[in-house]
Amino acid sequence: MTAQILDGKETSKKLLDAVAEELSTLQVVNRPKLAAVLVGENPASEIYVARKMKIAEQIGLDSELHRFPETVSQHELVEHLELLNNDTLVNAILVQLPLPKAIHSETILETVSPQKDVDGFHPMNLGKLLLGIEPPALPCTPAGIIQLLDAYKIPIEGKRAAVVGRSNIVGKPITLMLTHRNATVTLCHSLTQNLDEIVLSADIVVAAAGQPGLIRAEAIKPGAVVIDVGINRLPTGKLVGDVDFESVKERAGYITPVPGGVGPMTIAMLMMNTVRLFKNQQGQSLHGLLFV
C-alpha cells in the first residue's frame, strides 16, 4: 500500500479561486481589507507575511502592512491595534507571531476585536468554538485540515482520531472541530503514556507536536489518514514534518506532505476568514465548517 497524497497546494488553489470569484461579484464600494501587523525582522515572519499579502492582492482583497521595530512597547502596539479595531475600512487584523519576548502575546491577541480576529485566536472566538457556536473566524490551520479532509471526501463522523500536540493554535482547536464533526478524539501531548498505542488505534492522526519524525510507521493503523502539521528544519536545511513520511506513506491510506500539505491550506483559510469577517460585519449569515 502506498498512501494517496493529500495535495494542499491544489486544494488551496481551488479554494482561493472560489474566494476570488466571490470577491468579483461583491457589489461594494470598498473591498474587504486585511491589515497585517509585523513586529521586528524575523526572517521567517517576513516571508510568511509577504506571502499572505501577495495572495490577498492576487485574489482581490485589499491589504496593508503595519511594521514595527523590535523595540516597540506593548503599550504602543495595543494603541495601534485599537486604531485598527476602530477603522471601519479594516475588516480583518492579523498579528504575525511570534512577538518579541518583551511583549505579552496573549494581551495583544485579546486586544484585537473578536469581530476582526482573522486568526480565530481571541478567547471569545475560541470560547464559541468550544461551545459549538460558529465564530466569525475559525483558527486557520485546523479549519484548513477540515477543508482538506472534506475536499477528498474523507469521512470524519464516527471515526477515531488522535491529535498529537495540545497548542492553542492547532491541537486544541482541531480536537474541538473533529469532535463537533462527531469523531471520537484523543488529545495527546509530551506526557502522554503509550503514545504509539493510542495513535495506532486512530483512523485519523493529526501530528502537531513540533518534533521531526515523531510519528513512525509502526504507530500507524493500516489505511489511516495522516495529517502532518509539523514544520521542522533539519541541520541539513531540509524541511520535514512530525511524521516519518517515507515509512508512513507505505502504511497509511492518505497522507499530507511537508511542505505542500497543510501550509497552503492555512493561507487559504486566512483569506476565507477575511471574507467571512467582512460578511459578518455586513450582517450576512455565515456557512462554516463546524456542522455539515
Active-site amino acid positions:
52, 96, 119
Residues near 230 by Cβ (< 8 Å), separated by ≥ 6? 207, 208, 209, 210, 211, 212, 214, 240, 241, 242, 243, 258
Main-chain dihedrals φ then ψ at residue 89, nearest 5 degrees: -85, -10
Q: Buried b vs exposed e over 87-98: b needs ≥16 C-beta within 10 Å?
A: eeebbbbbbbee
Q: What angle do CA 239, 187, 177 make, to 5 degrees?
A: 85
285 by Cβ neighbours in 10 Å (0-12 / 13-18 / 19+) ranks as exposed
Residue whose C-alpha is closest to residue 133's, from 275, 280, 270, 272: 280
Name the helix (H) or strand (E) containing 5: strand 4-5
Beta bridge partners of residue 39, listed in sequence order? 68
Cα–Cα distance measured from residue 120 to residue 175, given in angstroms and rounded to the nearest whole number: 15
Cα–Cα distance measured from residue 189 to residue 195, given in angstroms and rounded to the nearest whole number: 9
Residue type present at position 180: H
Residue whose C-alpha is closest to residue 204's, from 222, 175, 224: 224
